[in-house]
Amino acid sequence: MRLYLLISLGFILSCSSVKKTDAQIGNQLLKDVEVLSSDAYEGRKTGTKGAEMARTYIESRFKEIGIKTLPSLANYEIPFTFKDSKGVTIQGKNLIAYVEGKTENAIVISAHYDHIGIINNEIYNGADDNASGVAALLKIAAYYAKNKPDHTLIFAAFDAEEMGLRGSQAFVENSPISIDRIKLNINMDMVSHNDKGELYACGTFKYPQLKPYVFSENTKIKIRLGHDDPKLGSNDWTNQSDHSAFNKKDIPFIYFGVEDHKDYHKATDEFKNINTPFFINASDAILEITKRLDNKLYLKAIIKEKKTID
């Protein structure tokens, strides 16, 4: 009886430990969004002090998680320059980290960290757009820091998305690894604000071989396919975030995002207005799908088309 009680107590403590770990992960996810979308970061506009603060925070999280800089880079930062609509030269900085896989074939997991700054003395904090995507990226990175992937995973926090997808374009044009190694881009942009429990996975129209992987066993969220048919016009999201740069190189992509909401590109896109249960479920689903896409054995078992991502 005593032994039984000890075993039972151990089981209860073990279960409590798992639940605590899950809670800690959820708390960190929300903390990352809250910090990056706080007023102190002044909307994270490219080339500003707020953007620099965001980089410092993301780099500190990369180090805390334990993911490395690429061997070809001195640190996490890759600077690039471009001219804005007025012809002014602006410097942006992408942040790149990686986890070495069992093969050199790579998957780029991306989210832009910039937003639109201060307009008419109002701070546009960009909690959903796109502190949420960065937080989800950090969660995926934390998982793979402890679980070796099949593919080498490149974690890219892109700058200057709001100024015309500049960071992702700079990345693909001067990739720190051979572009031929990149087999897939998983991009996240606005994944925390939807009251219907719907998260869209865009990209399977052009790359139907990805369809078998894009579903979630989490019944609290609905993964929707769509927003990727050219006939949809402005509702075609194929070229509306950083995955566009990869698509133009014929690199398959899955873009996770929500439909526009009342706070999109407004000063009200604040941490208090995201849907936290949805966000936690969405980030869990994205990680689940990422694991499925990374698993080479699963890919070989399912994909029969000539154009594969293995």
Convert the pLDDT of each residue in 180-201 to its tens digit: 999 999 999 999 999 999 999 9
Query: What pLDDT is recorded for position 107?
Result: 97
CA distance 265 to 245: 22
Instruction: Give yes or no for a contact between 187 and 253, defined as CB atoms under 8 angstroms apart.
Output: yes
Tokens of 189: 């942009």
CA contacts within 13 A on the Cβ side of 106: 22
Mean pLDDT, the chain, as a whole number? 90
Task: Write out pLDDT tens, residues 232-275.
Answer: 998 999 999 999 999 999 999 999 999 999 999 999 999 999 99
> Taking the alpha carbons of 293, 298, 299, 303 in that order, is the dihedral positive or negative?
negative
User: What is the distance in angstroms between the CA of the first residue and the CA of the last residue of the chain?
Assistant: 53
Q: Say whether pLDDT at 161 is over 50.
A: yes
What is residue 244's three-state secondary structure? helix
Mean per-residue pLDDT for 99-113?
97
CA angle 183, 192, 122 (to 5 degrees): 115
Per the model's pLDDT, the better-predicted residue between 290 and 302 turns out to be 290
Question: Which residue's entry shows tokens 């790579």?
Answer: 106
Query: What pLDDT is recorded for position 85?
Result: 84
Q: Say whether pLDDT at 7 is over 50.
A: no
Q: How confident is the model at residue 310 (pLDDT cuts 50, 70, 90)?
A: low
Q: Which CATH superfamily is domain 2-302 in?
A: Zn peptidases (3.40.630.10)
Instruction: Please enumerate in sequence order all residues whose Cβ is within 8 A of that of 248, keeping only pairs 6 or more positions apart, or say none.
Output: 172
Query: What pLDDT is recorded for position 290?
Result: 97
Q: Containing H/E element for 156?
A: strand 152-158
CA angle 42, 46, 51 (to 5 degrees): 50
Q: How confident is the model at residue 308 (pLDDT cuts 50, 70, 90)?
A: low
Mean per-residue pLDDT for 120-126?
98
- Which residue, among 166, 147, 10, 125, has the nearest Cα to 67 in the 3D structure? 147
Using a cut of 0.85, tell me whether the model's pTM lies above it.
Answer: yes
Phi, psi of 156 (to 5 degrees): -120, 115
Query: What pLDDT is recorded for position 263?
Result: 97
What is residue 288's three-state secondary structure? helix
